[in-house]
Amino acid sequence: MSIESKTDYFAHETAVIDDGCSIGAGTKIWHFSHIMSNAIIGDNCNIGQNVVVSPMVTLGDNVKIQNNVSVYTGVVCEDDVFMGPSMVFTNVINPRSAVNRKSEYETTVVKKGATFGANCTIVCGNTIGKFAFIGAGAVVTKDVKPYALIVGNPGKQIGWMSEYGHRLHFNEDNIAICPESEEKYRLENEFVRKLED
């Protein structure tokens, strides 16, 4: 992803794009969305209706953001992240209207391929592992392991997901096979990794 500004993207006429943004080739920005100054958006992203991408946010390539999502300053997303409708990130642990805490924004890192279900909330200062899957309505309050499946409030891990978004079921040898891709995964020391051919 290049840091220079590009012009080969689509923005609906109602979208607001502030000066100083970098928007990658092939990206689409839809109705009533606001891309704020110094945001960096990669190639081939899809920014749905009524989305806010705050200053200094970084989105990798092929990030898909559904309608009514707020991505606040402090969020850094790698490639292929999916954000479901109305999910939200926070950036301050203890906000108060009368206390300015802009200098206290915390960083939230989202690794490649993570999925966020509709209406989930990600409390700031945590890392979401690659290909993690956050269920609809979940509230994430701590780091999430790669490939982990998180549900509930507060979010709890209840299993593991493949890169294709299928629940993994491990055999007695701690091996699971994705039913769609047929890729194999190993569970070891409470972490999952994909096995390469």
Do residues 102 and 134 touch, judged by C-beta distance below 8 A? Answer: no
Topology adopted by domain 10-95+103-162: UDP N-Acetylglucosamine Acyltransferase; domain 1 (2.160.10)
Q: How is residue 88 written in tokens? A: 């939200």
pLDDT at 4 over 60: no
- Let me know if 80 is exposed, middle or buried by CB neighbors in 10 A (0-12, 13-18, 19+): buried
Query: Peptide bond preceding 85: is omega within 30 degrees of 0, i.e. cis?
Result: no
Do residues 147 and 161 touch, judged by C-beta distance below 8 A? Answer: yes
Per-residue model confidence as pLDDT tens digits over 180-197: 999 999 999 999 999 986
Domain borders along the chain are 10-95+103-162
Q: How is residue 184 written in tokens? A: 């194999």
Enter the pTM of the model: 0.94
Per-residue model confidence as pLDDT tens digits over 71-87: 999 999 999 999 999 99
What's the first-to-final CA gap in the chain, in angstroms? 28
Q: How is residue 161 written in tokens? A: 């997901």
